[in-house]
């Protein structure tokens, strides 16, 4: 937990979310609490249908909770205007998905530069940072290739580079190695953690991969609509 006088990179307080199923209501999240500090690495695990995707969408500002709020670097992310939400996401957050979600018409370099351009960087600065990250993920010789010209592992490495390009305070990753073979999965996770640590980013990973979960500072399981700590070892 972060010290009380230091704002958490991300905090979720009293998060509840449910859905109507006919005449009944299915509660997915029930007063959930989470606080993650800068530089901290947290894995969230749980059975299928436990609500991990719903939680991640709320933490990412893609879905509002029925109750509670999410704050990122002291700024409220949930239940605010779309403009404020976009500002916080662009300034403080990076995302890695199971499916890379790269823009197909842009090159690897352009995809990585995009978050910087959205945050107001000039083209030269964004290009320099993109080239630096392409070298870090060993894809400097693929910088002008579009996603369809890259392998699955290469596309996910570009996705990781894009997520950390703007040096975000928080990186959220949704099954980032779920579609990769074991060799590429290990490489992508290594890059994700190393690049995140170089920026002192908080890293929150939803995963079914026990090996990934074991490498994190904290392992949390989502069950019964709340998070609880798992003992290490």
Taking residue 117's Cβ as centre, other Cβ atoms within 10 Å add up to 17
The pLDDT tens digits of the residues spanning 183-231 come to 778 888 888 888 888 888 999 999 887 888 888 889 999 999 999 887 6
- The CATH fold of domain 38-64+79-229: Rossmann fold (3.40.50)
Identify the pLDDT of residue 193: 87
The pLDDT tens digits of the residues spanning 41-60 come to 999 998 888 888 899 999 99
Helix-, strand-, coil-residue percentages of the chain, each rounded to 5: 35, 25, 35
Order the strands of the 202-206 sheet from edge to edge: 93-96, 170-174, 202-206, 41-45, 218-223, 226-229
Cβ pair 109, 45 in contact under 8 A: no
The pLDDT tens digits of the residues spanning 65-81 come to 999 999 999 889 988 99
- In this prediction, residue 3 has a pLDDT band, given cuts at 50, 70 and 90, of very low
Identify the pLDDT of residue 231: 64
Task: Output the CA torsion sign for 210, 214, 215, 220.
Answer: positive
Cβ pair 103, 111 in contact under 8 A: yes
Q: Which of 182, 205, 233, 216 is nearest to 46 (CA)?
A: 205
> What does pTM read for this prediction?
0.87
Report angle CA 190, 193, 194 to the nearest 5 degrees: 80
The pLDDT tens digits of the residues spanning 159-194 come to 999 999 999 999 999 888 777 777 778 888 888 888
- In this prediction, residue 1 has a pLDDT band, given cuts at 50, 70 and 90, of very low
In whole angstroms, give the CA distance from residue 228 to residue 224.
Answer: 10
- In this prediction, residue 146 has a pLDDT band, given cuts at 50, 70 and 90, of very high
- The residues spanned by each domain of the chain are 38-64+79-229
């Amino acid at each position: 937990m972060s010290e009380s006088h230091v704002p958490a990179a991300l905090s979720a307080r009293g998060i509840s979310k449910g859905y109507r199923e006919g005449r009944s209501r299915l509660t997915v999240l029930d007063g959930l609490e989470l606080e993650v500090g800068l530089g901290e690495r947290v894995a969230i695990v749980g059975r299928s249908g436990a609500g991990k995707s719903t939680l991640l969408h709320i933490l990412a500002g893609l879905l509002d909770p029925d109750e509670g709020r999410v704050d990122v670097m002291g700024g409220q992310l949930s239940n605010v205007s779309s403009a404020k939400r976009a500002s916080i996401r662009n300034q403080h957050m990076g995302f890695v998905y199971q499916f890379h979600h790269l823009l197909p018409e842009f090159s690897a370099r352009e995809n990585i530069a995009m978050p910087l351009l959205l945050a107001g960087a000039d083209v030269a600065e964004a290009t320099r940072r993109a080239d630096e990250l392409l070298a870090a993920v060993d894809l400097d010789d693929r910088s002008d290739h579009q996603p369809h010209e890259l392998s699955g592992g290469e596309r996910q490495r570009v996705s990781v580079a894009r997520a950390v390009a703007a040096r975000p305070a928080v990186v959220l990753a949704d099954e980032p190695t779920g579609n990769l073979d074991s060799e590429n999965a290990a490489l992508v996770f290594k890059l994700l953690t190393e690049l995140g640590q170089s920026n002192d980013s908080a890293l929150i990973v939803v995963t079914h991969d026990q090996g990934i979960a074991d490498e994190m500072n904290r392992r949390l399981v989502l069950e019964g609509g709340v998070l609880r700590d798992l003992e290490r070892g």
